[in-house]
């Protein structure tokens, strides 16, 4: 059947992630899995890439920084 996903976003900007307790979420009825950025990194899930290439005025390709799909060490902005 159909599955749904829910995300918990950070209410803080520029904050270190010390711990994420997923016990209550895992114990909820119907929950089949809880993922954090730490698990994604441990499983070798790579960084997000840009869906389209943008070129500079001189024609050189843009430089893409590493951007994890879920924060694992620190959040960068509110909502991360």
* Confidence (pLDDT) at 21: 95
Q: How far is CA 35 from CA 53, 56, 60, in A?
A: 29, 37, 37
Q: Determine the structural domain holding residue 56 and report its residue range.
A: 1-80
Is the pTM here over 0.85, yes or no?
no
pLDDT tens-digit readout, 9-60:
999 999 999 999 999 999 999 999 999 999 988 998 888 877 777 888 898 9
To the nearest 10°, the Cα dihedral for 21, 26, 31, 33?
70
The CATH code of the domain that includes 40 is: 3.90.1170.50
8 Å CB contact between 31 and 66: no
- Provide the number of structural domains found in the chain: 1
């Amino acid at each position: 059947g159909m599955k749904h996903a829910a995300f918990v976003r950070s209410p803080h900007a520029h904050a270190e992630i010390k711990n994420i307790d997923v016990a209550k979420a895992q114990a909820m009825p119907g929950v089949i899995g809880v993922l954090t950025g730490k698990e994604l990194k441990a499983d070798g899930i790579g960084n997000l890439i840009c869906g389209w290439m943008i070129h500079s005025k001189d024609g050189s390709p843009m430089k893409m920084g590493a951007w994890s799909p879920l924060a694992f060490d620190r959040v960068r902005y509110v909502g991360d």
